[in-house]
Amino acid sequence: MTNQARVVLPTAPNFRDLGGYTTHDGARVRPGVAYRSDALHRLSDDDLRALGGLGVRQVVDLRTEFERQSNPDRVPDGAEYTSLDVQGDHSTGADLVAVLSDPARARTVFADGGAERFMHDVNRILVSGADARAGYAELLRRVAAGPGATVFHCSAGKDRTGWGAALLLTLLGVPRETVFADYLASNGRLAHLQESFRAAVEGAGVDLELVWPMVECRTSYLETAFTEVEKVYGSFGAYAAEGLGLAPGDLAALRERMLE
């Protein structure tokens, strides 16, 4: 089942409700509880009011410190803001702007498929990195506890947010093909960001083809994350219990909150 819950925020085009999906056993993910998004620093006044009108009471920012300081979120009145940097000090969380501002360095870093390798590395780290495991566990507990709705996001809302959404939906029992469809839906929502990236890269004198794999969601990237789960933990259940430290009560609370 595709997600029928459609909320449009023109200044956050990758904002969407995770509700509406059907699980393996026929339950439905409750709309209006958890939203995924791209960054919220661009929100217009109208979209900020709309976000508040959806009952959003928690904003969880998965970005690095550099990203947060450069582009601080706009948060609805009365909402709690929390930063959960899921990349931390790992090299995949480094400031890519610095790399792209140096064409010679960028050619070295991204040569011979380097950008694609980087994306696979990111997806592995989002599963097994210590900062990622702590951050995603806290995100899930916050979604389960409320109050009100939670929106979680990174910059484009496709990779760090994409794994957060895949993790949440998988734990709720949503079929894998639906999880992948939700992940890939970012590609149709980020045209303006891709064009901005194109202009910045070309303006910096960097070959666009070298770095283009970084602006797309690809099935292979998410497959890498699920493969990392199996490789490191053996199963998704073991990943939740051992990797994320989620107790049975945590998972029960999440399902109680999110399923109808």
Measured at the alpha carbon of residue 52, what is the angle toward residues 49 and 58, in degrees to the nearest 5? 140
| pLDDT range class, residue 2, cuts 50, 70, 90 | very low
Please determine, for residue 16, whether its predicted confidence score (pLDDT) is greater than 80: yes
Residue 245, SS3 per DSSP? coil
Work out the percent of the chain whose per-residue pLDDT is above 70.
94
Give the global pTM: 0.92
Residues 6+ positions from 102 with CB-CB distance below 8 Å: none
- Domains belonging to the chain, first-starting first, are 16-258 (3.90.190.10)
Q: How far is CA 80 from CA 42, 93, 104, 155, in A?
A: 18, 24, 42, 19
User: What value does the mean pLDDT of the chain take?
Assistant: 91
pLDDT at 74 over 50: yes
% helix / strand / coil in the chain, to the nearest 5?
55, 10, 35
Q: What's the pLDDT score for residue 102? A: 77
Name the token pair of 10: 């023109």
Quote the pLDDT of residue 4: 46
Average pLDDT over residues 38-50: 97
Q: Residue 117: its pLDDT value, please?
A: 92
**Residue 2 corresponds to which amino acid?**
T
Looking at the annotation, which residues are catalytic? 154
Crossing angle of helices 114-128 and 219-233, in 10° steps, is: 40
Convert the pLDDT of each residue in 203-248 to its tens digit.
777 788 888 888 899 999 999 999 999 999 999 999 999 999 999 9
pLDDT given at position 254:
98
Q: How far is CA 36 from CA 12, 51, 163, 241, in A?
A: 10, 12, 11, 24
Q: One-letter amino acid identity for 91?
A: S
In this predicted model, what pLDDT tens digit does every residue of 92-138 receive, in sequence order?
655 566 677 777 877 787 888 888 998 999 999 999 999 999 999 99
